[in-house]
Chain A
């Protein structure tokens, strides 16, 4: 029994002492208030940028990820970032009408479906945004601002509808 306790202590210590601190920061919620836009559009589908978003990225959010190695052990090699949504906005407005892309992606033209470019529709399953290779010492920070667009479709019902987006970060 004594040997077991020693082993557990050593294992725990090695995990604690040779781990990598990981960090994630999102700065804001996002809103698409179509009352503030020209709605209905002249044709469907039509794409809208957020009316309320990040002060640093007016087209979406500021997403910051970081890591810091603690100890000398090479405990993880990559930090993974993925995202998903909680579910549909309503019975007529699906989750996949919300798209994300790295900041700077152009707004798709009206009438185009799917939007093309780097735009990806949200789903309830996690989709990897990217993974960052862990190397070197010191704290490393990566800005990965994400743009959002909402695809208005002909059958969208009126009303206020919200969902939750999740950003998952872990190291392996």
Chain B
């Protein structure tokens, strides 16, 4: 009999306590106490598959600077940059981005051409940040140093970078015995970096 009474008391509450659901634009109504209104909406996030490249910045080798000992005691002599655009004091800041789960990204570099008739593009070397400087008198410089060419050469590759991946590059200039003096404003080349995924 007690159970019957409990059930009888619960019946109205159970019948009247409902969850009323709706979506965007619906005017959902009910009564309290008893009803619970639940309104819903959908949130969509669309993340594009992208690759990205960041390079900073211009680099200068001023062998006429008071802080530089030129000519070197021994040729070829190797010189660090005297002026950089980014935060890597030995070269350039390079960062790569790829969020593709399937494709391989490739980072490559090349140079525009010789500095002058006597100063070849291949006198400029690059290596991953932190590479020790070559010893004067050694040619080629060894280690991980690679000379620039007008053809693209792969520096690094990989899959998903998990954000911007550092690929900073150090530079050294190889001074040779036949380097003719440059005009006061210097001789320049343009260095290219490219990234693609496939």
Contacts and interface: CB of A to CB of B under 8 A. Distances in A.
A22 B37 contact: yes
A75 B32 contact: yes
Interface in A28-42: 28-35, 39-40, 42
A5 B142 CA distance: 99
B163 A15 contact: no
A158 B47 contact: yes
B185 interface: no
Contact of A170 (B4, B35, B43, B52): B35
A26 interface: yes
B71 interface: no
A8 B24 contact: no
B32 A166 contact: no
Interface of A: 4, 7-8, 11-12, 15-16, 19-35, 39-40, 42-44, 61, 67, 70, 75-76, 79, 85, 89, 93, 98, 148, 150, 152-172
Given A15-B12, A15-B13, 13 more contacts: A8-B11, A12-B12, A21-B32, A23-B29, A26-B24, A31-B43, A39-B47, A40-B52, A42-B54, A157-B101, A158-B47, A163-B43, A168-B36
Interface of B: 4-5, 8-9, 11-13, 16, 22-50, 52, 54, 97, 99-101, 160, 162-164
